[in-house]
Structure 1
């Protein structure tokens, strides 16, 4: 059956190439919900920090986790939340996480992300 043919005997037919920024539901009791978040970041340095936080958080979530990974992931979640809500993060939180990551000696897979995070923190803290 080609993509333009209708199924024999009637019935529904859906052809989707891509969906961006929305929700779809099918069937008699289908329900679609969509939640959108807008992040307001006060300046470029904080925007770079938010990007670095998200990248490092994602990479820490891959593979085996240590207690240090869990601790760092929790602090990254805190910073991401502050940046997303208020466009800034508390200086003390940034300093503590920066210092922790400096001594952490991350695995090679996250080393680049840790470096990017540390550079982004330096851009915010000055």
Structure 2
């Protein structure tokens, strides 16, 4: 048992939103309030999603374009928060773009996104 002289009392108060490390070789790294780093291909995908959403805003709204815009918004949000879209989200976008073939023929942004998704 350690003597009173070598004992160290530590009190930690509220640590929400904090980063700390304890120990001789401890390492702390904080990413609070920052987004996860993204790869270049994910950046291109995010740019294409944003461009298509902007283009959709300039077209006549239909249930099909509303579904596509909602899926694009979800994908944009997920990429922004996590740095990557989930596989199921990408599959949903592929399906919606395939169903909206007339958009890919008219909107260059839809064709670009379809190409990046491999549809």
Answering whether residue 51 of structure 2 is matched by residue 58 of structure 1, we say no
**Cα distance 1:41–1:69, how it changes in 2: closer, same or farther (>3 A)?**
farther
- Distance, in Å, in 1 between the alignment partners of 2:34 and 2:113 is 22
5+ residue gaps, structure 2, are: 1-32
Aligned to 2:12: none
By how many angstroms is 1:64 displaced? 1.4
Aligned to 1:105: 101
Answering whether residue 70 of structure 2 is matched by residue 74 of structure 1, we say yes
Q: Which has the higher contact order (CA 8 A, sep 6+)?
A: 1
RMSD of aligned Cα (Å): 2.0
| Equivalent residue pairs, number | 85
SS of the aligned residue for 2:102 comes to coil
Give the alignment's TM-score, normalised by structure 2: 0.63
Aligned to 1:96: 92
The structure number with the bigger radius of gyration is 2
Answering whether residue 80 of structure 2 is matched by residue 84 of structure 1, we say yes
Give the alignment's TM-score, normalised by structure 1: 0.60
By how many angstroms is 1:40 displaced? 4.7
